Every structure is written in structure tokens, then in C-alpha cells.
Amino acid sequence: MNIEYLLTATRSARKSIDLDAPVDSRDIRDCLRVAFQAPNGSNQQSWRWLVVADPVIRTRIAALYRDAYLQLTGGQLVADMLEGKTPFGRLMSSTEWLVENLAKVPLLVIPCYEPYLTRTEGGDSFYQATLYGSIFPAVWNFQLALHTRGYGTCVTTLHLHREKEIRDLLGIPESYVQGCLLPVGRLRAGHTFRPAGRRPLEEVIAVDSWDGPPV
């Protein structure tokens, strides 16, 4: 796969995941090997990635995910009201599809990380940047590696509204933080992604100072 295409067209996969296609654990292992080449604070690598395949556990995680989503929306699914006509409507339709189908996605991957700093050692921003900056480069490597092998995933964080319940369910020690939840499956046959619409460069880049000109 062309590198520029891979970097610009690796999209969040939700409806494009084939719920019936089996996942090859050797592929997932390979993608995780690529993931772990990512930079992380002081090269501590204090991560543990939980790969949940058991359908009973997936169903319980999916129920917590749904519960968290409905709490945020005041107890209702909203995508139908938005009719999928606007970009936001389409996003909500995909988001809710995942809410309804998470249990059927073949693998749920949860990257966990044990921060080696305590909040008092650095300011909060330093702590957060070092912690999440040690998780998400590996997550992105994982996403890219999956894409090259015909798999798809999507960063999700909604389950963190039920962080403790997920911790208890999976036996995650108190000292570890859950970075996100990645539903993983093969992409539907023939499915391809395109570069997405993003804000124009001149809106988001400034040279030398906040109000400086774009590059």
C-alpha cells in the first residue's frame, strides 16, 4: 500500500467491519508487533494490551458501552432523528451502529498503560501528555498495520464512562489506565477508504506566534 495513501486514508471503521469474517490471530499478533515499535515515554513500555475474543465478555463490555452512550444522550438513540444527511448525522449513525453491534465485532482490544509518574511529580499536563502520548502512537501504528492487512478499527473512549466496571470485569490492576477500546475485524470485501475532509491548513497552522501567518 502506498504510504501517503495509508497515512491519509486510514479511517475509523465501524459499519465497514465484517462481523461474520473470522480474524486470524497471527495477523493481530503481527499488527501488535508493529504497534509496539511506537515511541513511548522513556521507553518504559509499561503497557498491557487486552485482546478480548470471548463472546460472553464482549457482550458484557458492549452492554457497558451502550449504557455509557445512552447516559450521554439522555437515554435515547439520536441518529434516526439526524437522518444521516449531514456529516454529523452520518457520524452519529456510525457511532450508534457500533453501540448496537459492538458485541458482534470479533475482537475488542484495550491498550492499558501503567504511568510511571505520579501526578505530583509533574504538572497535570506533563503527566497526561506522557501517559496518553505513550499509548496513542502505538494505537495509530496498530490501526495502520491493521489497514494494510485488510482489517479495520476505530478509536473509542465511550467505555471509559464505565471504567471501573470494565476494570473489574477484565481484572485490570488499579495502577493501569485504559487508553481506549478498539473494535477490530476484517473490512468488508471490496471496502476501501478515502482521505477525509479536514479543516484547511491556513486555519490551523501559524508561524512564529499564535496570530502568525500559515506556513
Ligand X SMILES: Cc1cc2nc3c(=O)[nH]c(=O)nc-3n(C[C@H](O)[C@H](O)[C@H](O)COP(=O)(O)O)c2cc1C
Using CB under 6 A as the criterion, which residues of the chain lie in contact with ligand X when the complex forms? 11-12, 91, 95, 98, 154-158, 196
Please report how close the Cβ of residue 159 comes to ligand X at its closest, in angstroms: 7
Please report how close the Cβ of residue 139 comes to ligand X at its closest, in angstroms: 9
Angle in degrees, CA 110, 114, 117, rounded to 5: 145
Kindly tell me which of 196 and 205 has the beta carbon lying closer to ligand X. 196
- Give the span between the Cα atoms of 149 and 160, in whole angstroms: 28
Please report how close the Cβ of residue 171 comes to ligand X at its closest, in angstroms: 23
DSSP state of 52: E
**DSSP-based three-state secondary structure for 149:** coil
Please report how close the Cβ of residue 46 comes to ligand X at its closest, in angstroms: 20
Kindly tell me which of 91 and 169 has the beta carbon lying closer to ligand X. 91
Kindly tell me which of 4 and 208 has the beta carbon lying closer to ligand X. 4
Is the CA virtual torsion 96, 162, 110, 116 positive or negative? positive
Angle in degrees, CA 107, 180, 145, rounded to 5: 60
Kindly tell me which of 162 and 186 has the beta carbon lying closer to ligand X. 162
